[in-house]
Amino acid sequence: MELFRKRGYQVVDFDSEADVYCINTCTVTHVADKKSRQAARRGKRRNPDAIVVVTGCYSQVAPEKVSAIRGVDVVVGTQGRADIVDLVELAMTKRAELPLVAVGDIMSQTEFEEVPISCPTKRIRGFVKVQEGCDEFCAYCRVPFARGPSRSRNPEHILEEVKRLADSGIREIVLTGIHVGAYGRDLERANDQATSGLPWLLEKIHGIPTIGRIRLSSIEPVDIDESLIEKVQGLPKVARHFHIPLQSGDDEVLKRMGRRYQTRDYLRIVERIRDMIPDVAVTTDIMVGFPGETEENFRKSYEFARSLKFSRMHVFKFSGRPGTRAFNMKNQVDSKTRHFRSEKMMQLAQDLESEFSRSLVGKDEEVLVEEYKSRRKLVAGIGSRYTRIEMPGGEDLLGTLVPVRVVGTLGAVVIAERLLPHEEGFKLHGEK
Ligand code: SF4
């Protein structure tokens, strides 16, 4: 959007009539592929003269399928996105043969492609990408084929972007990437620097005075070590929240998935985090119906998740993706069973989420206010521990970080009262 705006375009809603429709695709499941195809067709239906450009992961892994969709004019993958406006304008001249396909070999990329953000559309939370790609090749996952090898963004560019966003009023920065925990490894190899990993980056960002809160998006269990936990513990502006993908709570399934840990390793990490950071929120991703997952495997996975008391679980049904090892594995689980297991796991997720919210009653939190409900004179936002928090308050609180005390819950929603920072007992981060 920013690249287009800089060239004088106005960004409008996808459902409006426009001159250019840009679809950023996903390919994580076959449903994502289907939605991407539908969106591409929808653009051309709205305005048959428009240029339709399709970019992102689906374009990267299946450029021939994307370019064959009727009405698609430009296909860009997950690299070379900085050229997107030039390609659209070339397509507009009708001088080139359409569709223009600009999808290169992603597996040979070694550099992080800079597409900096300077003017966020929502002025409260900013997503800053620090890393791209993944070297793990889990058996079910198409992401390494769509995003290429792991590569870290230059720390100076990250810090510049964070400062810019903070100066523009952004209060929370979310550090994102495909394999965020791998941040810095390639830089260390290339520059022989031992000071460029994630804990180092967190500390640097934390030092920017205008930043209110920093959140790590997702960290693989194999990337969590003592230095990272200590760093989070010692930096009060880092959210008290770890999102650690589990995928399965059964060791046989984890092994077949090609995940490089067992349940005991995962448990050890979570226990260590909880020892060092009391009341921390641990959220996860969990998959059901991986090929060969028996009733017993599923039961173990369910019980493991229950015992870990995740405060939120994103539940996924296995979706076979062409090109991955799991696609051709024997003993695929039928869709009815996958559906049943997913429903059961989602019910557990809901119960655990409410349980976690209840556990916060009487405790102190800090909410980033994002919504004002004028009729009920309430404000709502997300707490440091990634729960939704509501409390009495006015529009003036929008975009601010407010210290609160939790007084109750409504399902998984946390109800709080505003605390003044000088009030005795405010101890979100362990200090008075
Ligand atoms: Fe996919 Fe994540 Fe595994 Fe990488 S670590 S292959 S992105 S599931």
Binned at pLDDT 50, 70 and 90, residue 193 comes out as low
Ligand 1: residue of 60, 178, 260 to mutate (most ligand atoms within 8 A of CB) is 178
- Tell the residue nearest (CA) to atom 3 of ligand 1: 138
Which run of H or E residues covers position 55?
strand 51-56
Task: Please answer whether residues 44 and 52 qualify as being in contact, where contact means their C-beta atoms are separated by less than 8 angstroms.
Answer: yes
Predicted confidence (pLDDT) per residue in 137-175, tens digit: 999 999 999 999 999 999 999 999 999 999 988 999 999
User: 369-428 pLDDT, tens per residue?
Assistant: 999 999 999 999 999 999 999 999 999 999 999 999 999 999 999 999 998 766 645 555
Label residue 177 exposed, middle or buried (CB < 10 Å: 0-12, 13-18, 19+).
buried
H or E element, residue 364: strand 364-373
Give the ligand 1 atom nearest the CA of 259: 3
Residue 211 contacts residue 164 (beta carbons within 8 Å): no
Which of 27, 60, 131, 138 has the most ligand 1 atoms within 8 A of CB, as the residue to mutate? 138
3-class secondary structure, 429 = coil
Using most ligand atoms within 8 A of CB, pick from 29, 131, 136, 145 the residue to mutate for ligand 1.
136
Tell whether the model's pLDDT for residue 56 goes beyond 80: yes
Which atom of ligand 1 is closest in space to residue 247's alpha carbon?
Answer: 8
pLDDT for residue 101 is more than 70: yes
Q: Is the pLDDT of residue 431 over 60?
A: no
CA 238 distance to own-chain centroid: 16
User: Which of these ranges, 120-124, 184-188, 299-303, 320-324, has the smallest mean pLDDT?
Assistant: 120-124
- CB 134 less than 6 A from any atom of ligand 1: yes
- Supply 206's token pair: 């934390």
The reported pTM is 0.92
132 CB near ligand 1 (under 6 Å): no
Structure tokens at 416: 């709080």
CB 286 within 8 A of CB 301: yes
Q: Is the CB of 88 under 6 A from ligand 1?
A: no
Half-sphere exposure (Cβ direction) of 5: Cα atoms closer than 13 Å: 9
Q: 396 or 114: which carries more pLDDT confidence?
A: 396
pLDDT at res. 192: 58
Residue 247 is given by DSSP the state B
Judge if the beta carbon of residue 182 lies within 6 A of ligand 1: no
pLDDT confidence of residue 189:
72
Confirm if 414 and 360 have CB atoms less than 8 A apart: yes
Q: How far is the CA of 155 from the centre of ligand 1 (A)?
A: 23
Average pLDDT over residues 109-138: 86
pLDDT over 70 at 429, yes or no:
no
Which band of pLDDT confidence, cut at 50, 70 and 90, is reported for residue 290? very high
